[in-house]
Amino acid sequence: MKIIRKILNSRSQDDGDFFLEIWQILGFKPKDINLYKKAFTHRSYNIKDENGLPVNYERLEFLGDTMLGSIISNYLYNEVPDGDEGYLTKMRSKIVSREHLNELGKDLNLIKFVKSKIPNEHFGDNIHGNVFEALVGAIFLDRGFVYCERFIHKRVIVPYVDIESLEGKIISYKSLIIEWCQKEKKEFLFDTYEDNGNDELKHFAVKLFINKKVVAKARATSKKKAEESAAKRAYYALQDKIDDFL
């Protein structure tokens, strides 16, 4: 209690609250709290440091992505001694996939710390994974590799990494459909076009053709999402055949 009072007395109320919440998420005491503030500053906040350089989480995100990949690679290398390079690469991709990182960021409710001139509800899902990676980058700069590895083990590996489950997890249905079509020598085409209808947001529709036959349709707010959704529907329509390929 004395330590907590000392922290709160030495900072503004907002800084003290932020410090304690970050401490709770990390499981250890941060040293340079400004690194963690930067990890949650969106570029739209438009602030610069004393050298005139932008202050936002993008460079920390880059660093965190690298550290996360390295630590997960090391874990898989030791955990699966008979896994070849291709297997290890696939497993790492599943663990650090954008979908998974977004899930991690959501579970920790990191978006509540984000400083931005854009309302949170206007962000896409990727903001959650972006700030999670930035947080990892801040940890590495603040406390070094050992603490970074400890955090990833606690927050990623222990609760989320199950080798057997991950082996059967599909990262990208689009990639899977393309690989299957190429192996089976089938023609495929993702015919994507704008389809706004009465919606305020721009939408895209896609028809997935295999051997010139429409096997799935989908609609979403981006081409990538629409194609992935159509590929997922195609997978379930052709699951028996594709599962043999897997």
Choosing from 61, 65, 227, 228, the catalytic residue is 65
What is the Cα Rg of the chain in Å?
Answer: 22
Looking at the DSSP bridge assignments, the partners of residue 43 are: none
Distance separating alpha carbons of residues 18 and 37, to the nearest angstrom: 9
Q: Residues with Cβ < 8 Å from 235, sequence gap 6 or more? A: 170, 173, 176, 177, 242
- Our answer to whether residue 133 is catalytic in this structure is yes
| Lookup: tokens for 205 | 């529709």
Write down the H helix ranges in the chain.
2-10, 13-26, 33-39, 58-79, 85-95, 98-107, 126-143, 145-152, 158-160, 163-167, 173-183, 223-237, 239-245
Q: How far apart are CA 227 and CA 233, in angstroms?
A: 10
Q: Decide: 197 and 203 in contact? Cβ < 8 Å.
A: yes
65 counts as catalytic: yes
Give Cβ neighbours of residue 121 (< 8 Å, ≥ 6 apart).
none
Which residue matches tokens 């989320």?
Answer: 160
Measure CA 140 to chain center: 18
Which of 15, 58, 133, 200 is an active site residue? 133
What residues are labeled active site?
Answer: 65, 133
